[in-house]
Amino acid sequence: MSSALIIVDIQNDYFPNGKMELSNPDQAAANAARVLDWFRQNNKENIFHVQHIANSPELGFFLPNTKGAELHETVLPLEHENLIVKNFPNSFLKTDLESKLREKGVTKVIVVGMMTHMCIDATVRAAVDLGFETTLIEDACATRDLSYENKVVPAEQVHYAFVSALNGMYANVISTEDFLKQN
């Protein structure tokens, strides 16, 4: 079974002083970097970096040609690694990610990145819908506080609600340590 790493939206705007700062992005990025290092040593042909570029300035972040839209230094792609540019939360929507995975015979994807409640959720669900066996490395993901009708949901609760919903039916949800021990 051929596997691939998909690193979703680990971009500068999610870090301190960015336009959409997340809760604990540094720890999530450090864990993603550990998984990336493993892939670089063991499966270097199947690494896919995904970068979100805003279609419209109304989004307020990931604006084209800004420092905030650039991939974060912890997971910068090497020259031979794949870069997928997307404009929607789902990394497969209107991109060539699926075709590139299929060209390489990939049947299993490992997903890390940001934001758990948006692009990670959309990408994991789409991957499964497309027939890929999917693993989500939850501590290599980050999100932020959300609110609805003046009720604030802390980032940690948002994160665990989404990974819990994905676990089992959509993905095998594991930690960085468990991934590295298993592989």
Which is the catalytic residue, given 19, 26, 119, 121?
119
- Spatial distance between the Cα atoms of 70 and 68, rounded to a whole number of angstroms: 6
Q: Are 2 and 107 in contact (CB under 8 A)?
A: yes
Nearest of 84, 141, 133, 135 to residue 112 by alpha carbon: 141
User: Active site residue: 13, 86, 139, 141, which one?
Assistant: 86
* Residue 94 bears catalytic tag: no
**Could you confirm whether 119 is annotated as catalytic?**
yes
Q: Which residue has the tokens 């230094």?
A: 73
User: Is residue 9 among the annotated active site residues?
Assistant: yes
CA dist 128 and 130 (Å) reads: 5
Catalytic residue among 9, 13, 121, 139: 9
- The residues carrying an active-site annotation are 9, 86, 119
